[in-house]
Amino acid sequence: MELTRRDFLKASAAAAAFAAAGAQALAPRLASAADDKGIKWGKAPCRYCGVGCCVLVGVKDGRIVATKGDPAGPVNKGLNCIKGYFLSKALYGKDRLTHPLIRKGNKMVKASWDEALNLIASKYKEAIARSGPDSVAIYGSGQWTVFEGYTAVKLFKGGIGTNNVEPNARLCMASAVVGFMNTFGSDEPMGCYDDLDLGDTYILWGANMAEAHPVLFSRLIDNKLKNKKVKIIDIATRRTRTTQMADEYIPMHPQGDLAALNAIAHVILRDKLYDESFVKQHVTFKRGTENQPYGLKDKENPKEEPKPLTFDEYKQLMKQFTPEWAEKLSGIPAKKIEHLAQLYTDKSRKVNSLWTMGVNQHVRGVWVNNLIYNLHLLTGKICKPGENPLSLTGQPSACGTAREVGTFAHRLPADMVVMNEAHRKKTAEIWGIDPKKISPKVGLHTMEMYRAIDRGELKCLWIQCTNPFQSIPNLSRYRKAAQARKAFIVVSDIYPTRSTEVADVILPSASWVEKEGVFGNTERRTQHWFKMIEPPGEAKEDTWQLIEFAKRLGHGNLFPYSQKNFHKEMWEEYRKFTIGTGKDLAPYETYHKVRGLRWPVKSNGQETRWRYTDADDPYVKKGEGVKFYKAPGNKATIWFRPYEPPAESPNSEYPFWYCTGRLLEHWHTATMTGRVPELKRAMPGATLEMHPEDAARLGIKNRDKVKVSSRRGSVVLTAEINGRGKPEKGNVFTTFFDETKLINDLCIDAFDPLSKEPDFKKCAVKVEKA
């Protein structure tokens, strides 16, 4: 058995190598079809999205000469999207950063590591001495490896003593995280990708899975092909390629999700379609704080003061949210809302909700997350194979690093928070430090970090593995502040970006398989890879950069790991945080062999596919059924969340909704995919999608140059009419990958008061022919 499988794998690996290598034939020094001798293959997760496809990386003579989908990878079984297909080229752009650079006036001058690190350390020391540890910060990434995130958290929170540690995942998954925490007491989904194979009803809330989670979408559609019962409902403000393959498209006004979800719950309550016993056993009701601000003023710090509710009180409060009421706010006809309620409560259907940025990048994103969970909790359609709400993650390790390691201003590893004394104590124990070192004061969240730079309060910021000066909303305020040299900014990256151009120090980083690493994807799958090639020039992995920096600050003792077993030792220390929490990770070596494991990893080394259920979760005893053991009282919370309007709506002067997003060909700000010639040629520049009637009214034809402006900024784009996406009337859409078009400049930096995640999907713009 074993032998045959290995042979098969080898054969298919060779065949795939032949094909994949042949594809790379004419690129410099990439393997040719006949040249598969001497290529050493190693496994890794894909560098890009939160799907976390498994790939095999082929190395020869110290270079990546080929990549291919790993046929043994359970996520993707050898498939990739075209970003993954060209992984081998992403690291070899001509302008790869290879030396530290220090700003001297308007020039960036080559420097040695010592010079750069000494400078950074001195600046940090100076700021800390003068204005305290909270005057410095680090901004990392959901694309950090676990080691990089852990080092940053340990250094800043356990060494420097500030909680000013934030990931770019604040801009992407924060609302989902808060939704998980305040509903279930623990972050990350209870289901997994198997739900896409096993369910029959999939309701997508503002998620363009076809382009944002390509291989996952392929898996979902296959379920539909195999099973006539499968229904995919696409609820969105824009027709996409997802719409094309969905069974039903339900157009919605921006922010309408708040109304629609409430109305669906209303129908469920009205017609008594809820699972009474499930609700009684597993659910508690709360009401949060309403009329919170939108974060438009600096330093606003709203707090949630939850009040408990009884089921009856909840039902009473929900009476106002009729389908007719929702129709006015959401544009979804009342009948459709009834229809959705029917689907959610249909006892013969295994219903799943799927969502990403349409829900999370939302001024009430936490509320929408809560409202989606409400439907699953009311109906009991949760924690069952094929029947779960699945929050899709955007980045490859927003889960594995940012969320699990806790690289947030209020977080510590494994769901713990800095505000909680017991959590600080446990953390300090594992780190071997005095618990008083960890500050109980929540640090600056992302938007506040950049505002603090503008106000002159944040003196030092180290940015790693992300590109905020292209991606944060209301960009020009923050770019101007950086360009005015209001703070000392360090950027660690692999290519010149819109962020390195405003840095005081640029450090060349090692990327992906140039360092050993671990990522964690949407479905809690932790995947490991070994270092396979040396980084170019003097580039170094961010972990090394931080530890060298730590040493210069006198915190080198926090990282007593040996040279030889550095990653293993760090992992085993980090792992301690997870043991017994329901987020248990396996010993390091386990991950070397498998194509990832979904936590909690059981004591027998098996992964867990479904949490909180005695069918699979090791923390739920047989007979307990479903148990939300991380939530207080083992009960998940149904939150009462009403409708509140967006921060900025269209008016006569700015008559369009402005929505931003991503597409399949490019990853985020395209610092990597933009250097792959094939992907650049496939999609060279950002366009503005408009509804054909809106365009016709303004005299705009396909490919005309148009100027789109908000109260904050403007940009000139090529119009795309009747292309891959068709916004609803009164809406326009564009993508943020184009470094020559800073589209996020138009976005409003309003954010969810609970998650602090900005709303990239809704603000008001006007459009005119350029």
Active site residue 380: no
Quickly list DSSP for 606-638: ---SSTTBTTT-TTS-TT--B--TTSGGG-EEE
Going by the DSSP 8-state scheme, the letter that residue 158 receives in this structure is I
Residue 652 buriedness (CB in 10 A; 0-12 / 13-18 / 19+): exposed
| Residue 23 in contact with other proteins, rule: CB under 8 A | yes
Question: x/- contact string, 664-693, with other proteins (CB under 8 A)?
Answer: xx------------xx-xxx----------
Residue 281 buriedness (CB in 10 A; 0-12 / 13-18 / 19+): middle
Which of 468, 471, 578 minimizes the C-alpha distance to 520? Answer: 578
279 or 664: CB nearest other proteins: 664
CA dihedral 498, 503, 507, 513 (to 10 degrees): -30
Which of 22, 148, 27, 14 minimizes the C-alpha distance to 90? Answer: 27
Question: x/- contact string, 209-238, with other proteins (CB under 8 A)?
Answer: -----xx-xxx-xxx-xx------------
Q: Which of 25, 109, 484, 579 binds other proteins (CB under 8 A)?
A: 25
| Residue 350 in contact with other proteins, rule: CB under 8 A | no
Pairing state of beta strands 238-239 and 726-727? antiparallel
Shortest Å distance, C-beta 427 to other proteins? 40
| Residue 32 in contact with other proteins, rule: CB under 8 A | no
Q: Please give the backbone phi and psi of residue 505, each rounded to the nearest 5 degrees, phi first.
A: -135, 135
85 or 657: CB nearest other proteins: 85
Which pair of tokens denotes residue 146?
A: 């676990």
Going by the DSSP 8-state scheme, the letter that residue 731 receives in this structure is E
Q: Which of 43, 44, 50, 76 binds other proteins (CB under 8 A)?
A: 76
Q: Which residues pair with 184 in a beta bridge?
A: none
Active site residue 1: no
Q: Which of 115, 126, 197, 614 binds other proteins (CB under 8 A)?
A: 197
198 or 375: CB nearest other proteins: 198
Active site residue 357: yes
Q: Which of 26, 272, 422, 593 binds other proteins (CB under 8 A)?
A: 26
Spatial separation of the C-alpha atoms in residues 551 and 431, rounded to whole Å: 16
Q: Which of 79, 120, 269, 732 binds other proteins (CB under 8 A)?
A: 79
Sequence-distant (6+) residues with CB within 8 A of 558 are: 154, 155, 158, 159, 431, 433, 550
Count residues binding other proteins (CB under 8 A).
41
131 or 718: CB nearest other proteins: 718
Sequence-distant (6+) residues with CB within 8 A of 95 are: 495, 496, 675
Shortest Å distance, C-beta 770 to other proteins? 14
C-beta atoms surrounding 631 within 10 Å:
20
Active site residue 690: no
19 or 484: CB nearest other proteins: 19
Selecting among 108, 190, 357, 672, the annotated active-site residue is 357
| Residue 9 in contact with other proteins, rule: CB under 8 A | no
81 or 265: CB nearest other proteins: 81
Stretch in the footprint of other proteins (CB under 8 A) among 70-78, 435-443, 636-644, 706-714? 70-78
| Residue 463 in contact with other proteins, rule: CB under 8 A | no
Shortest Å distance, C-beta 726 to other proteins? 10
Reduced to 3 states (helix: H, G, I; strand: E, B; else coil), residue 387 is strand
| Residue 14 in contact with other proteins, rule: CB under 8 A | no
Pairing state of beta strands 165-167 and 201-205? unpaired
| Residue 242 in contact with other proteins, rule: CB under 8 A | no
76 or 135: CB nearest other proteins: 76
248 or 678: CB nearest other proteins: 678
Reduced to 3 states (helix: H, G, I; strand: E, B; else coil), residue 545 is helix
23 or 267: CB nearest other proteins: 23
Shortest Å distance, C-beta 58 to other proteins? 17
Selecting among 395, 464, 470, 545, the annotated active-site residue is 395
Which pair of tokens denotes residue 72?
A: 């043994």
Shortest Å distance, C-beta 411 to other proteins? 33
Selecting among 49, 53, 81, 173, the annotated active-site residue is 173
Spatial separation of the C-alpha atoms in residues 404 and 417, rounded to whole Å: 12
Selecting among 172, 252, 672, 763, the annotated active-site residue is 172
Stretch in the footprint of other proteins (CB under 8 A) among 262-270, 446-454, 660-668, 735-743? 660-668
Per-residue exposure over 575-606, b if at least 16 CB sit within 10 Å of its own CB, e if not? bbbbeebbbbbbebeebeebbbbbbbbbeeee
Which pair of tokens denotes residue 653?
A: 């002067």
| Residue 81 in contact with other proteins, rule: CB under 8 A | yes
How far lies 423's CA from each of 130, 160, 258, 412, 429, in Å? 29, 18, 34, 8, 10
Q: Please give the backbone phi and psi of residue 387, each rounded to the nearest 5 degrees, phi first.
A: -150, 90
Question: x/- contact string, 690-729, with other proteins (CB under 8 A)?
Answer: -----------xxx------------------xxx-----
Active site residue 172: yes
Spatial separation of the C-alpha atoms in residues 183 and 284, rounded to whole Å: 9
Selecting among 43, 60, 68, 83, the annotated active-site residue is 83
Angle between helices 446-455 and 475-483 (to 10 degrees): 50
Which pair of tokens denotes residue 78?
A: 């050898």
419 or 682: CB nearest other proteins: 682
Which pair of tokens denotes residue 760?
A: 């990239």
Q: Which of 245, 334, 442, 770 binds other proteins (CB under 8 A)?
A: 245
Q: Which residues pair with 505 in a beta bridge?
A: 102, 490
Write out the catalytic residue numbers.
Answer: 83, 172-173, 357, 394-395
The residues of the shown chain that bind other proteins, judged by CB under 8 A, are 23, 25-26, 69, 76-82, 85-86, 197, 214-215, 217-219, 221-223, 225-226, 241, 244-245, 663-665, 678-679, 681-683, 701-703, 722-724
